[in-house]
Amino acid sequence: MSKKRIEIYDTTLRDGMQREGMSVSVDEKVQIALRLDRLGVHYIEGGFPGSNPKDVEFYQKMAGHRLRTARLAAFGMTHKKGARPHQDPLLKQLLKVDTPVVTIVGKSWKLHTQKVLRVGLEENLKMIEGTVGFLAGKGREVFYDAEHFFDGFDDDPEYAMSTLEVAVRGGATRVVLCDTNGATLPSRASEVVKQVVDRLGVPVGIHAHNDSDCAVAVTLEAVEAGATQVQGTVNGYGERCGNANLISIIPALRLKMGYDCVSDRRLAELTETSHYVAEIVNVSPETHQPYVGENAFAHKGGLHVSAALKDARTFEHVDPALVGNKQRILVSELAGQATVLKKAAGMGLDLSGDKEKLGALLKRLKEKEHAGYHYEVADASFELFLRRELGLHKPIVELDNFRVIVQKRKSAVISEAKIVLKGNGGGELPIAFAEGNGPVNALDIALRKLLPARYPKLVEELSRIHLVNYKVRILNEHKGTGAVTRVLLDSSDGHDSWGTIGVSENIIEASWEALVDSIEYGMMKRRRRH
């Protein structure tokens, strides 16, 4: 049976957007909010409507959407010094956006009260109570975020506590302890949260930043100490080192600590949600991110692979399917027989009865890896490698020769490629010329001119294959311009994507190898379907 319910409060759209270089449109904010609702979070903080018109427009657009699980919260701050709450323009704007929840931030550290707000300690308390009371009196549920609470508590615990007590007296239904500087260690956070929970009569939340790389741990310790609301962002986005990462916190609460936060069905959408938000904010998903990263359940070492294939629990702390992820077996120079057998089986190849062939494959694989091939990030090239070594692959592209010319002109750099393929048993060899915006692009265009005549039934499939990523890595930098180059290509046909690799001292040759593998694999997928 699950323990008590923990509320998930997402602030990706406000605090997360403070990450350097991160900005989204109003429509993109709406898309993220709807996806968070689908995940099952309880509160979505959409922004600070008093700070910019984009956030106001976001709340206006959200009025046209019916949320299934989440309630919208608008963020604001205590009224200005020397003013009355009903006169404060920012508080008026908070009421205009008409969210059921309003989150108000106030000062709990004397340092900030005196040097940032420049008000007396008693006036700060009146500002907190007056602001909360004004909004609660207008029918809003008010959450109070105690900024820099842990620093303030260490400085003067009684004053820090008094900021919470006046917020409760004003009508706050939650008080949230903020580790704004991210300086608090988990054990200290636990001690402080327990004291607050024991003293106050309302639910307590935790809002941690990651400057000490402890935000997730601080959050989990706070929950164990009695906090019932956790605030954070998707993928830990936020200013400086980021916020507490809800993508790690939610499965830890649910799967490891037994708390009721999101349903098992919605937890299975965690990986998809993490990647969806990453794509919208234009940040590449972190492949090594716990729970949801592409490599979170990837196994490379031969002994690890062998054990994981016998019982995944030996090297996987949770079932990856529970968070919408999957196990991956990587192929490298560390691979053992279990790795190759598993990968081959996934391709429909049974090698279990031929130890001699399997041994030869392993030897050849390690030779290729030693030469610079990196098959764990190029599954398509690995499958082609296996099929070629086993004599099961009939090549589509059989090169006789190619030539690439790069010419610098006054206004541009022009790349021209010539490709000659092997003939079919007589007559002139197939030849094509093409210009491109670079040598690899020119080779690609020229190759695509030649293949349709030879494989007319694959024209449509060829047109679907396109390059989505091109990466170059120098393997031995000390050799300078004579170093071995590794080229990785990611390709897609609009439905599936795959990675290919090429290695050579010549970057054009390495690129050609990866390019040919990309097309060979795409065409092979087509032949399988038909």
Query: Which residues are marked as active site?
Result: 304
Q: Are 303 and 335 in contact (CB under 8 A)?
A: no
Residue with tokens 């031995």: 476
Ramachandran region of residue 3, left (φ > 0), alpha (ψ -120 to 50) or beta?
beta
How many C-beta neighbours within 10 Å does residue 476 have?
12
Q: Write out the H or E segment, with its range, that includes residue 447.
A: helix 439-454
* 425 vs 393: CA distance, rounded Å: 20
Contacts 24+ apart (CB under 8 A), 59-66: 59/97, 59/98, 59/99, 60/97, 61/26, 61/27, 61/30, 62/30, 62/33, 63/98, 65/30, 65/33, 65/34
Q: Give all strands (DSSP E) within 370-496, no chain letters.
A: 399-408, 413-421, 431-436, 466-474, 485-492
Q: Distance between CA atoms of 349 and 459, rounded to whole angstroms?
A: 28
Cβ-based neighbour number of residue 108 at 10 Å? 32
Who contacts 183 (Cβ-Cβ below 8 Å, separation ≥6)?
150, 151, 211, 212
- In this structure, are residues 101 and 40 in contact, taking their beta carbons and an 8 Å threshold? no
What value, to the nearest 5°, has the Cα angle with vertex 227 and ends 225 and 230?
A: 130
Task: Take residue 210 and report the two structure tokens written for it.
Answer: 């990651």
Dihedral angle at the C-alpha atoms of 369, 370, 372, 375, nearest 10 degrees? 10
For residue 275, which phi and psi values (nearest 5 degrees)?
A: -70, -35
Q: Position 101: which residue type? A: V
Number of C-beta neighbours around residue 257 at 10 A: 15
Is residue 424 helix, strand or coil? Answer: coil
